Structure 1
Amino acid sequence: MDETPTRLLIHGASGRMGQALLRLAAEDPSLQVVAAVVRRPPAQRVIDGVPHFAASELSGVPPFDVAIDFSLPEGFDPVLALCVARGAGFVSGTTGIDASRQAALDAAAAGIPLVWATNFSLGVAVLAELVERAAASLPGWDCDIVESHHVHKKDAPSGTALTLGESAVQGGAEPRYASLRAGDIIGEHFVQFSGLGERVELVHRASNRDIFARGALHVARQLSGRAPGRYRVRDLVGA
């Protein structure tokens, strides 16, 4: 059995997700962070044994198996290009990805395995599958998606709600959306199918933001060594 750790590049390492990825990866012997990339030249080159690089030094990072990117759209392009050039896997949760970058992902998937997702919770991935199955099994039923987040979240509906809506559409439903911004809610997604005299309710509640980092690390681990292609988080759950 191969026990060689999966070598990770963490891109966007100074952000909240990047910090969680570094902390949780350090606890997992099946993972090895070989480089952490931040926007500006780091004041300290090695932190907790992990070499740190500025975004402008991206081409000089050591060999890696998978890059995990939670950065900004302008940082997305160079790290994707680096993965293509090196034949490494690519996992990204960077938001604000426009149509041209989606096309770049499709093109890159011809040569490397990759995942771009709005949500890396493994539970949400399972929820998306259940939503598609329910929509296909309940033709003609009303489908409503209600999402709740903290008061500082600006986009509505959330990216996760829209992804769940895409799953509903795949199953033949026509989803409607509602959004709530209140308190410090991390994230709740409620999907309801309503027929005559009965309802089916599917819900996911996040109580800890670490679930997103854990999910991204799981996906990176499972993506390493796979054939080129564009994968979904749900394709790698339980793998």
Structure 2
Amino acid sequence: MSQLWDAETARRYDTPGVGMFAPELLRTTADRLAALADGGRALELAIGTGRVAVPLAERGVPVVGVELSPHMVDQLRTKVDEATIPVVLGDMSSATAPGRFSLVYLVFNTIGNLLTQEDQVACFRNAARHLLPGGAFVIELGVPDLRRLPPGVQATVWLDEPGYLALDTYDVLNQQLVSHHFRFGDGTEARLGRTPQRYVWPAELDLMAQLAGFELESRDADWDGAPFTAESRSHVSVYRLPG
């Protein structure tokens, strides 16, 4: 998986001001996480370039990260130094960060980068090991889009905008998908990126949480707290260790 997040991908990852870097989205995300940290320390699994960690740290929350790709950490270091946001290089399912935390969080579908159920369960258990009693584990994750797959069709287009096309291909037997990202200009050439994932239904995620000793505290459709319904495309789920 680490080879997917190479130096070129890391350099292109940030899209300041738009998409997942939109200021309003980052504000509501960081505000919600700061409230859940409740004055304590936070650990971000798969911290990447610091999209969420940097604004969270700016709110006074001490943040530590775990990240598999050194290239993503290099981009983070153009924003903050090691003293401001320390990062442990390693796999989010097994790496150990020093100390204990009030909050562990994993955003933007990243648990899907772990391609087996075993590794995803290990990620929950790793989060639990890092938390203080009563601590929270927050996961942001999309809902599998299988209702849009007619019989015999294995792909869905989930974004189509000028210069960018994104689609997912599904292997429903093995619960795998590959996200395909096409970026193109006015000519005939295009750039393609692919990201394999293991998709997870909310109910399966809840069972993983139980295996690690968590209880589901809340599930919303977004960081603003909109109700989660059968039509929601994603969810923000908060799991809590017994206090």
TM range (shorter): 0.3 to 0.5
When the two structures are superposed, what TM-score results if normalisation uses the length of structure 2? 0.33
Which protein, 1 or 2, shows the higher relative CO under an 8 Å CA cutoff with sep ≥ 6? 1
Between Structure 1 and Structure 2, the one with more helix by share is 1
State TM-score, norm by structure 1.
0.34
